[in-house]
Amino acid sequence: MDQLLRMKVFVAVAETQGFSAAARRLELSAPAVTRAVASLEDSLGVKLLQRTTRIVRTTEAGLRYLEDARKILEDVQAATEAAQGINAEPRGHLSVTAPVLFGRKFVMPGISEYLRRYPDTQIDAVFLDRVVNMLEEGLDVGVRIGALPDSTMKARKVGRVRLVVVGSPDYLREHGIVQTPEALHDHTLIVSRAGNMSQDWRFMFKDKKQGKEAKSESVRGKQKAGKKAGKENLGKEQRKERTVRVEPRLTVTTNDAAVEAAKQGLGLTRILSYQVADELAAGELKIVLENFEMPTLPVHIVHREGRLASAKVRAFIDLMVERLGQDKALN
């Protein structure tokens, strides 16, 4: 068995964390996969995988080799597609990750269209409400909401979303409109543990002290850059972030459960705007505390491959950028 094929088998086992799963992905027999990995380990003189009765994990040496092997296989694929021409038809396996509700509402329709367009492709959709290490978990394309601390990832921005507090019209009629974040202590609150949601809710407040400083700065700004620049400086300086500790009556593990509870009039919840776009449009939920919202969060499509991204990755990203860029819930 040649070296490239053994590397491909190892990568599949590491990503699926199992020999049987890798065999199914590669359409090989389980014994052939086992022999390939054993042969690769013998040739390298190192242990790449730690085998247990339940799962297969990558050793420290295996993790380093896995990263290099992926790059080599991607370069080989890119070279093949370059020889075939830039318009080579997308084919092969693609793995995609996104937050659960985002995946259901926005990514799945794109996946369906992609699979109809390109019949020689297969997709694994991994929807999780946690930050996924795409390199370690072998994922090709992902959706990230918020800042991108990982500079090694390639990214394309497709929109922005808000962090909003919502309640049903019935609840707001009965309990009144919330005027300030501090008033949340007088309301029934619903908190989701999914993703980055927590019991510390951050808001932007007007700061009187900074407002005076900003006003002086705005006057100087008008002299230098005109009236528009002065107003922008004033607006930016007058707002300061503060945290409000909330005490929920209901805590749930998924965002859709929090949304459903709010729809039923149980209380107020804090959620990303895209997660309640349909409910807001239908009038089932209403936003409160708009004047205290945090700055909007960017939405990016990220991927591991560089300039020579494979045809399957390029095609999927282009399709999703077009779809998401036109969606009013994200723009």
Number of H helices, E strands in the chain: 13, 14
Give the whole-angstrom CA distance, residue 92 versus residue 82: 16
Spatial contact of 194 and 255, defined as CB atoms under 8 Å apart: yes
> What is the pLDDT averaged over residues 24-40?
89
pLDDT at 118: 94
Q: For residues 97 and 266, what is the distance between their CA atoms, to the nearest angstrom?
A: 32
Q: What angle do CA 200, 205, 211 make, to 5 degrees?
A: 150
pLDDT digits 0-9 by tens, 205-254:
876 554 444 444 444 444 444 444 444 444 445 678 889 888 999 999 99
Q: In what order do the strands lie in the sheet with 154-161?
A: 121-127, 92-98, 141-145, 297-303, 154-161
Judged against a pLDDT cut of 60, whether residue 39 lies above it is answered with yes
What six digits make up the tokens of 215? 């006003």
| Secondary structure E strands in the chain | 49-51, 56-58, 92-98, 121-127, 141-145, 154-161, 163-167, 189-192, 200-206, 239-245, 250-252, 268-272, 286-288, 297-303
Q: How many residues does the chain have?
A: 331
Expressed in angstroms, the distance from the first to the final Cα of the chain is: 51
* pLDDT greater at residue 306 or residue 81: 81
What is the pTM for the complete model shown? 0.69
pLDDT tens digits, 80-122? 766 766 557 888 889 999 999 999 999 999 999 999 999 999 9
- Any idea where the domains of the chain sit in the sequence? 1-88, 90-157+297-331, 163-199+246-295, 206-238
User: Under CATH, which number does the domain 163-199+246-295 receive?
Assistant: 3.40.190.290
Q: Enter the CATH code of domain 1-88.
A: 1.10.10.10
DSSP3 helix / strand / coil % (the chain, rounded to 5): 50, 20, 25
pLDDT tens sequence across 121-153: 999 999 998 878 787 777 889 999 988 876 667
Proportion of the chain above pLDDT 70, given as a percent? 83
The whole-number pLDDT of residue 85 equals: 60
Residue that the structure tokens 């009236």 belong to: 227
CATH classification code of 90-157+297-331 = 3.40.190.10
Q: Which tens digits make up the pLDDT trace of 254-291?
A: 999 999 999 999 999 999 999 999 999 999 999 999 99
Across 28-51, average pLDDT: 91
Assign residue 85 a region (left: φ > 0; alpha: ψ between -120 and 50; beta: otherwise): left
How crowded is residue 75: how many other Cβ atoms within 10 Å of its Cβ? 13
Rounded to the nearest integer, the mean pLDDT of the chain is 84
Domain 90-157+297-331 and domain 163-199+246-295, same fold? Reply is yes
The residue behind tokens 């020579």 is: 308
Nearest to 303 by CA among 318, 293, 289, 291: 318
